[in-house]
């Protein structure tokens, strides 16, 4: 997969290239990362990319011209999706990461900056994405979150696909508890069922734990999961 990031801070993405399994995926050619700085496409001698907002107000607004030029200079692959990082966007879900990882060969991620971006920049995007109900200084961290989440889902990045299918949010339920040796640590014991060798009982316990954890910690997800189960009956 090709990942193109339009950002005024391209150096923010360099750590991804050496980040554990994500870095190894880039090194192996499973994914490729390219950054594009709108400042390189500014046409005035000061390479200006922002200006004061029409109508007045605090802060500066990212200009449309350099952003458009940066996006239009990017090579277009047949299956491409353009994502705009925005606190006004749709909340990021695991299902989105799976959809982008399996359905596209190229993601273009546009990062805003300053007070905001010119409204006309929105027309470049197929989707607007938010990682939460808060505001950051730019879209670089949300874009890095998406890159990490998508690349780890690409075939060959992690050891087995089974671990991706069983993790939290893969089917709306949170993941079950995990334990390893020792069996007893500071009087905290591993549940006996996990040491029983009874794979059927272990599977049932894990499923029960998934439901219990989701109901307690994310009742919104649990309600969605229950509705999904009713539709499948």
Q: Which two tokens stand for residue 139?
A: 């879209």
Quick check: is 161 in a domain?
no
Residues 171 and 147 in one domain: no
Residues 49 and 114 in one domain: yes
Residues 6 and 68 in one domain: yes
Q: How buried is residue 60: exposed, middle or buried, by Cβ count under 10 Å (0-12/13-18/19+)?
A: middle
45/48 Cα distance (integer angstroms): 8
**Whole-model pTM?**
0.89
User: pLDDT tens track of the chain, all 233 residues?
Assistant: 999 999 999 999 999 999 999 999 999 999 999 999 999 999 998 999 999 999 998 889 999 999 999 999 999 999 999 999 999 999 999 999 999 999 999 999 999 886 789 999 999 999 999 999 999 999 999 999 999 999 999 999 997 666 666 665 668 899 899 999 999 999 999 999 999 999 999 999 999 999 999 999 999 999 999 999 999 88
> Per residue in 54-91, pLDDT tens?
999 888 999 999 999 999 999 999 999 999 999 999 99
Residues 101 and 137 in one domain: yes
Domain termination residue (choose one: 119, 151, 183): 151
CATH of the domain at 132: 3.40.1280.10
Residues 136 and 191 in one domain: no
Quick check: is 189 in a domain?
yes
- In contact, 89 and 127? CB cutoff 8 Å: yes
Residues 20 and 117 in one domain: yes
Dihedral, CA atoms, 79, 85, 88, 91, nearest 10 degrees? 70
Residues 191 and 116 in one domain: no
> Per residue in 151-171, pLDDT tens?
999 999 997 666 666 665 668
pLDDT of residue 69: 98
How many domains does the chain contain in total?
Answer: 2
Task: Report residue 193 CA to chain centroid gap.
Answer: 35
Q: Which domain holds residue 32?
A: 2-151
Residues 19 and 89 in one domain: yes
């Amino acid at each position: 997969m090709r990942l193109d990031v339009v950002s005024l801070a391209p150096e923010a993405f360099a750590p991804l290239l050496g980040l554990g399994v994500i870095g190894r995926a880039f090194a192996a050619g499973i994914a490729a990362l390219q950054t594009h700085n709108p400042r390189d496409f500014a046409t005035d001698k000061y390479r200006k990319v922002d200006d004061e907002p029409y109508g007045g107000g605090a802060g500066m607004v990212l200009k449309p011209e350099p952003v458009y030029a940066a996006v239009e200079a990017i090579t277009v692959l047949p299956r491409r999706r353009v994502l705009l990082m925005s606190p006004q966007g749709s909340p990021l879900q695991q299902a989105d990461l799976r959809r982008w990882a399996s359905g596209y060969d190229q993601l273009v991620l546009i990062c805003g900056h300053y007070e905001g971006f010119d409204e006309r920049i929105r027309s470049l995007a197929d989707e607007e994405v938010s990682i939460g109900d808060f505001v950051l200084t730019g879209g670089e961290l949300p874009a890095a979150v998406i890159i990490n989440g998508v690349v780890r889902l690409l075939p060959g990045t992690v050891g087995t696909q089974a671990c991706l299918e069983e993790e939290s949010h893969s089917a709306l339920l949170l993941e079950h508890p995990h334990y390893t040796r020792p069996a007893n640590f500071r009087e905290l014991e591993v549940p006996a069922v996990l040491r029983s060798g009874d794979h059927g009982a272990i599977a049932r316990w894990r499923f029960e734990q998934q439901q219990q954890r989701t109901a307690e910690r994310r009742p919104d997800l649990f309600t969605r999961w229950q509705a999904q189960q009713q539709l499948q009956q």
